[in-house]
Structure 1
Amino acid sequence: MDLDSNNHSVFLLHYHLILVVKYRRKVINDPISDRLKEIFEYIQINYNITLKEWNHDKDHIHILMKTHPNTEISKFLNAY
């Protein structure tokens, strides 16, 4: 297990984020998922987030991400 550290702390923060399409409509296919992942990877650098796993189905996306304690998840999600 790889632990991250700051000057005075050691941490390991993972978030499991599930994004669901409104009314669970089946609109996510491989090209759409790839584009969403591309956008996620472009934005994650500014928020100290590392993408660990990305999976999708036709109506939702599962994201496993690793963050730092100073990461503002709500601001990241608004940017995304």
Structure 2
Amino acid sequence: MEYQTNSHCKHLIDLHLILVVKYRKQLLFGDMGEFVKQAVLDISDSSDFSVEEIEVDKEHIHILLIIYSLKIKALRVHKPINYVL
């Protein structure tokens, strides 16, 4: 894992994401687990992140993500807020 460098910043964003099935029902076995795994990999192909590792258990999924682009938009205030006390 290497740091990503932009014009004025340097970053490395790794996420360990755990997705849990509601009420921890054991639904992700067999073909359903493989379907979810493939869906996450397909989404990562067209996004700004990559999946380093993914493991599917019967009631949860562990995903290790690396985010490549850091896009932060500034919040603009168009009209100042006047507080009246």
Give the TM-score of the pair, scaled to structure 2.
0.71
In the alignment, is residue 32 of structure 1 matched against residue 47 of structure 2? no
Q: Which amino acid aligns with 1:40?
A: V
Stretches (4+) displaced over 3 A: none
Measured in 2, the distance between the counterparts of 1:24 and 1:8 equals 44
Q: Write the deviation string for residues 28-75 of structure 1: whole angstroms up to 9, x where unpaired.
A: 11422221121112222333011011012111001110003228xxxx
RMSD: 1.8
Q: Note the residue ranges of structure 2 that are not aligned, 5 or more in a row.
A: 73-85
Indicate the structure (1 or 2) with the bigger Cα radius of gyration: 2
Q: Note the residue ranges of structure 1 that are not aligned, 5 or more in a row.
A: 72-80
Identity %: 32
Deviation of 1:12 (Å): 0.4
Aligned residues: 71
Measured in 1, the distance between the counterparts of 2:56 and 2:37 equals 10
Higher helix share: 1
SS at match of 1:32: helix
Structure with more relative contact order (C-alpha pairs < 8 Å, separation 6 or more):
1
Q: Which amino acid aligns with 2:62?
A: H
